[in-house]
Amino acid sequence: MGKGNGKTEGVLRLGKHGLQPKDVEHELPAAESLVEEAAPDPVAAEPAEVGAPPEAEKLKAERDALLDRLARQQAEFDNARKRGVREQQEFREFAAADVIKNFLPILDSFERALKAASPGGSDFRSGIELIYRQFQDALQKIGVHPIAAVGQAFDPRVHEAVEMVDSTEVPDHYVLDELQRGYKYKDRLLRPAMVRVARNSRA
């Protein structure tokens, strides 16, 4: 066989027309070389963030944050609910107080009628006293109570002084007489008691 020219010298392959020179430049690489080229670099395969916390610690931190947020929202909800209940109760008491004020003049009329009743009209007086007691019982059931005045130390929070009277019968600055009874609805003042206050120079 004669010598080939160029880079195909001494390299033959089997073709349709027998042995032919093999094109070394265009020959595909061997399978082993492809595998070696495709193998990943062990250094490049390492994770980028070596110092990152494990996934379990991240999940635990997220859980703790959610639980803390839930607890704070639950506390805010409870406070809002209690505030709403308290405001509703105060509104009901305020509305009831306005209604009760309308009954106070009736009590005043009863008291004036009892004072003006003649000694001989025992039946009339007994009837008035019965109605008066029934009225007072009904008011007490809903939380209305008269304010103690006569014989008590003057209290500007529940007493309204109409007059100062010189007297030695009671201590100084004590209520000598009650002109109009005061009333409270639970802890709310409906109206103060109108009183005369003693001025005792000997005390």
Q: Can you list the alpha helix ranges (DSSP code H) found in 6-121? A: 31-38, 55-101, 104-116
Q: What is the pLDDT of residue 150?
A: 92
Comparing C-alpha atoms, which of 140, 198, 142 is closest to residue 171? 198
Comparing C-alpha atoms, which of 160, 165, 164 is closest to residue 193? 160
Res 19 pLDDT > 80 = no
Could you give the 3-state DSSP secondary structure of residue 3? coil
Could you give the 3-state DSSP secondary structure of residue 105? helix
- pLDDT per residue over 108-136, tens digit each? 888 877 777 666 667 777 778 888 888 88
What's the pLDDT band for 181 if we cut at 50, 70, 90? very high
Task: Give me the half-sphere count of Cα atoms (radius 13 Å) on the Cβ side of residue 1.
Answer: 11
Mean pLDDT value of segment 90-102: 82
Res 146 pLDDT > 60 = yes
Q: Two tokens at 170?
A: 């009671």
**Model confidence pTM above 0.85:** no
Res 34 pLDDT > 50 = no
**Whole-number percent of the chain with pLDDT over 90:** 18
